[in-house]
Amino acid sequence: MCCTPLDLWTLAWGGLTFAAPLAPWAILFCAIPVVLHLVLRQKARRQVFPAMRLLAQAAPSGTRAHRLRRILLLACRVSLLGLLIALLGRPGCTPEDRAAGPRPAGQIEPASVVFCIDDSASMGYRFQGRSRFDHACDHARQLLSEQRRFAPGCQFAILAAAGREGFSWSPDPLLAARKLDTLHVGTHAQGVASLLQRGLRVLADARFDRQEIYLFTDLAAHAWRISPPPLPPAVKAVWIIDVGGEENANMTLAWPLTSNSPWPADESLTLPIRLSRAGPAPEDATIELRIEDRPRHRQAVTPPPEGTAQDTDVPAGSFQAGLYPATFELQPADPLDVDNRRFDWIEVAGPPVVVLAHHGGEVPALLSAMIAPKALDVSRQRYKLRECNADSLGDPPLQGARAVLLADSAVSMAPAASPLDAYLQGGGTAILVPGPQTTPANLEAIEHLLPAPVLGVTVCTPPTRVAAVDLTHPFLQVFSDTSADSLNDRLIFRRLDLGSPADATTVLAPFADGTPAILERRLGKGRFLLLTFSPAREWSLFGSQAAPMIALLHHMLTVLAPPSEEIQTLTAGSETARWFPDLPDANLRLIEPLTSQSVTLPLQAGRVMLPTDRPGLYRLETGSIPARSLLHFSVNVAEAESDLARIAPDQVQSHFPSGLACVARPAELQAQMASRAGPGLGLIVPLGLLLLALLVAETLFSNRFYGRSR
Answer yes or no: is pLDDT of 588 > 60: yes
181 burial (CB, 10 Å; 0-12 / 13-18 / 19+) is exposed
CB 285 within 8 A of CB 300: yes
Answer yes or no: is pLDDT of 220 > 70: yes
Q: Give the other-Cβ count within 10 Å of 86's Cβ.
A: 21
Cβ contacts of 258 within 8 Å, gap of 6 or more: 271, 272, 326, 344, 345, 346
| The predicted structure's pLDDT at residue 59 | 56
In the predicted model, what is the mean pLDDT of residues 357-370? 93
Q: Give the other-Cβ count within 10 Å of 606's Cβ.
A: 13
Lowest mean pLDDT segment, chosen from 12-26, 28-42, 114-128, 471-485: 12-26
Q: Give just the sign of the alpha carbon dihedral 107, 110, 111, 113.
A: positive
138: pLDDT confidence band, cut at 50, 70 and 90? very high
Three-state DSSP at 518 gives strand
Higher pLDDT, 291 or 55: 291
| The predicted structure's pLDDT at residue 8 | 35
Class of CATH domain 105-248+644-676: alpha beta
Of 127, 574, 571, 569, nearest in space to 336 by CA: 127
In the predicted model, what is the mean pLDDT of residues 369-392? 83
Q: pLDDT per residue over 514-563, tens digit each?
A: 999 999 999 988 999 999 999 999 999 999 999 999 999 999 998 887 65
Percent of the chain with pLDDT over 90: 51
637: pLDDT confidence band, cut at 50, 70 and 90? very high
Looking at every residue in the chain, the average pLDDT score rounds to 83
Three-state DSSP at 603 gives strand
681: pLDDT confidence band, cut at 50, 70 and 90? very low
Cβ contacts of 222 within 8 Å, gap of 6 or more: 122, 189, 191, 640, 641, 643, 645
Q: Which amino acid is located at 444 in the chain?
A: E
Of 261, 303, 306, 308, nearest in space to 284 by CA: 303
From the centroid of its chain, how far is CA 103? 35
| The predicted structure's pLDDT at residue 17 | 53
65: pLDDT confidence band, cut at 50, 70 and 90? low
Higher pLDDT, 70 or 305: 305
Lowest mean pLDDT segment, chosen from 193-202, 465-474, 559-568: 559-568
| The predicted structure's pLDDT at residue 99 | 38
Residue ranges with strand state E in 366-434: 384-389, 401-407, 429-433
The whole-model pTM stands at 0.64
Helices then strands, counting H and E runs in the chain, come out as 15, 35
| The predicted structure's pLDDT at residue 420 | 92
Cβ contacts of 580 within 8 Å, gap of 6 or more: 603, 606, 607, 608, 630
In the predicted model, what is the mean pLDDT of residues 22-28? 60
Lowest mean pLDDT segment, chosen from 267-271, 452-456, 651-655, 692-696: 692-696
| The predicted structure's pLDDT at residue 677 | 46
Higher pLDDT, 98 or 207: 207
Of 632, 637, 580, nearest in space to 603 by CA: 580
CATH topology identical between 353-559 and 567-640: no
| The predicted structure's pLDDT at residue 264 | 79
Higher pLDDT, 55 or 192: 192
Answer yes or no: is pLDDT of 358 > 80: yes
Calculate the CA dihedral of residues 206, 199, 116, 104 and round it to 10 degrees: -50
| The predicted structure's pLDDT at residue 106 | 46
Q: pLDDT per residue over 384-441, tens digit each?
A: 899 998 878 876 778 888 899 999 988 888 889 999 999 999 889 999 999 999 999 9
In the predicted model, what is the mean pLDDT of residues 684-701? 67
| The predicted structure's pLDDT at residue 283 | 79
Dist. CA 313–CA 301, nearest whole Å: 10
648: pLDDT confidence band, cut at 50, 70 and 90? very high
**What are the boundaries of each domain within the chain?**
20-43+51-89+680-709, 105-248+644-676, 353-559, 567-640
Q: pLDDT per residue over 97-117, tens digit each?
A: 443 333 454 455 788 999 999
Dist. CA 404–CA 385, nearest whole Å: 10
Lowest mean pLDDT segment, chosen from 67-71, 420-424, 625-629, 703-707: 703-707
- CA dist 142 → 136, 170, 561 (Å): 10, 17, 56
Class of CATH domain 353-559: alpha beta
Dist. CA 677–CA 664, nearest whole Å: 18
451: pLDDT confidence band, cut at 50, 70 and 90? very high
Q: Give the other-Cβ count within 10 Å of 596's Cβ.
A: 7
Class of CATH domain 567-640: mainly beta
In the predicted model, what is the mean pLDDT of residues 180-207? 92
